[in-house]
Amino acid sequence: MDVSRPPLSPVTYPSAGDTAAADRSGAVYDVPVEISAVLGTVQIQVSQLLKMGRGAILELDRKVGDSVDILVNKQMVARGDIVVIEDRLGVTLTEDIKAEKLT
């Protein structure tokens, strides 16, 4: 059985004046990401979970005034504070997590 590899094209990077290449490299800006703000977490046993009903309260591992974790595609990238914007909630970014801490 003869298995051949497809021909590989050389990688080229856009120069400062190459607007067509810059437009292609800008395609990454159209990739959707999921952003989450985590208020806190809790671990409980399944038996406790099954006993919970409407109105049950889960006590999280954070205190009032603690920062929330900001996740992008389930990876923590920053911390922030909860803010109220009219009738909605938002997050003010207060701390970036450095790349070396992400791995």
Tell me the per-residue pLDDT of 21-41, one tens digit each, with 9 for 90 and over.
556 667 788 889 999 999 999
CATH of the domain at 75: 2.30.330.10
Please give the pLDDT value at position 56. Answer: 95
Give domain status of residue 61, yes or no.
yes
**pLDDT surpasses 80 at 18:** no
Domain around 62? 34-102
pLDDT class of 82 with cuts at 50, 70, 90: very high
Give domain status of residue 6, yes or no.
no
Give domain status of residue 10, yes or no.
no
- pTM across the whole model: 0.61
What are 57-62's contacts with CB under 8 Å, separation 24+? none
Give domain status of residue 49, yes or no.
yes
Mean pLDDT of all residues belonging to the chain: 82
State how far the Cα of 55 lies from the Cα of 69, in Å rounded to an integer: 25
Considering its fold, how many domains does the chain have in total? 1
Q: Is 24 exposed, middle or buried (0-12, 13-18, 19+ CB in 10 A)?
A: exposed
